[in-house]
Structure 1
Amino acid sequence: MRRRCAMSANSAEAVGQVEVVLVKSGRTKIRYPAELLHDDGTRVAVRAPWAGDGVRDFGFVRFEPGDVFTEYYWRDRWYAVKEVRDGRGTLKGWYCDITRPATLVGTELVVEDLDLDLWRSADGTAVLRLDEDEFAASGLAVSDPRAAAAAENALDTLERLAREGDFEALLA
């Protein structure tokens, strides 16, 4: 069952549709349409098919045409959690981006990627911290130490939740 919500002043104007805009290093990395599932003023949930070109094989998971992402963004947290299912609905796991808090202006959901990522497999046995080298190379610790500390804290929080079993409560 899909839940729709009443739109608030800071929610999407077009009921049911938003455009997710992922920004990295000041430039738009990717932009894609998504179905708005829920917006309670703090957390926004959307659903979209895999927006990449072709297959992206990370070694621990493959994102491919037919995959469906249910994505959760917060206006007050420094991360986004993306539930990944294949075309048959089988859960692959959760890919988490460390980001600045999301903003929703009109129908654009804008998220700034801060390089750090976390993967949690569907069965919870694999929890992987990703791209820490990219984060270190980004220079954020020097250019915006407060944001760097918030990003590192967000990654630590997600990892703890993923390992201790409270992870799925984030999405309830």
Structure 2
Amino acid sequence: MVLKFNTDHQETWRYDGKVISRTPESVLLEAYFNRPDKLFHGILLREGDRFVEKYFNDRWYNIFEIHDCDTDVLKGWYCNVTYPAVFEDGVVSYVDLALDLLVYPDGRQLVLDEDEFAELKLNEVDTSRAWQALAELQRIMKIPFILN
């Protein structure tokens, strides 16, 4: 199970996922989009799209690789800036910090929700760590990128 929380530690989304692999610092899992179809910055997210998701307990982000539910064609990557994930009792949980990076299959990158991030009123250290996480994502999410 995956649990997403906001900075007030209120649950904002939950869904099931199947663990593909695990290390002491990360979990790679497969999940399926469980919301109605939505056009999102030029990418059609469809209910049932396959997500391969990588969570880290030592990094301030996670990475979702998005595949079409019918053809399994890669649609792109969605990266969340977060506090490090927590792994316990078959549950992956994380606190989302609003700041996101969308990466298209052709390598274009789009930073999302900077305004929402600014409204969070995080302390100076956490704000700096979040911006560092975004910079790291922008650096590592160069094409070709393979999630493993």
Q: TM-score range by the shorter chain?
A: over 0.9
Which residue is 1:43 aligned to? 26
Determine if contact 2:66/2:77 at 8 Å carries over to the other structure.
Answer: yes
Which residue is 1:147 aligned to? 126
Alpha-carbon shift at residue 157 of structure 1 (Å)? 1.1
Which residue is 1:102 aligned to? 85
Task: Determine which structure has the larger helix proportion and give its number.
Answer: 1
The alignment partner of 1:83 has SS state of strand
Q: Which of residues 90, 93, 102 in structure 2 aligns to 1:119? A: 102
Deviation per CA, 1:54-99: give whole Å up to 9, x if none. Answer: 1222232121112110000011000000000001110000000001
Which residue is 1:28 aligned to? 11
Runs (4+) of structure 1 exceeding 3 A deviation are none
Aligned residues: 146
What value does the CA root-mean-square deviation take over the aligned residues?
1.4
Quick one: distance in 1 between partners of 2:140 and 2:18?
A: 27
The alignment partner of 2:145 has SS state of helix
Structure 1 unaligned blocks of 5 or more: 1-18
**TM-score, L = length of structure 2:** 0.93
How many percent identity over aligned positions? 33
Quick one: distance in 1 between partners of 2:140 and 2:41?
A: 23
Structure 2 unaligned blocks of 5 or more: none
Alpha-carbon shift at residue 121 of structure 1 (Å)? 0.7
Quick one: distance in 2 between partners of 1:51 and 1:24?
A: 19
Alpha-carbon shift at residue 168 of structure 1 (Å)? 2.0
1:1-172 maps to which residues of 2 (within 5 A)?
19-25=1-7, 26-52=9-35, 54-87=36-69, 88-124=71-107, 126-140=108-122, 144-163=123-142, 165=143, 168=145, 171-172=147-148
The alignment partner of 1:168 has SS state of coil
Determine if contact 2:34/2:48 at 8 Å carries over to the other structure.
Answer: no
**TM-score, L = length of structure 1:** 0.80
Quick one: distance in 2 between partners of 1:108 and 1:71?
A: 13
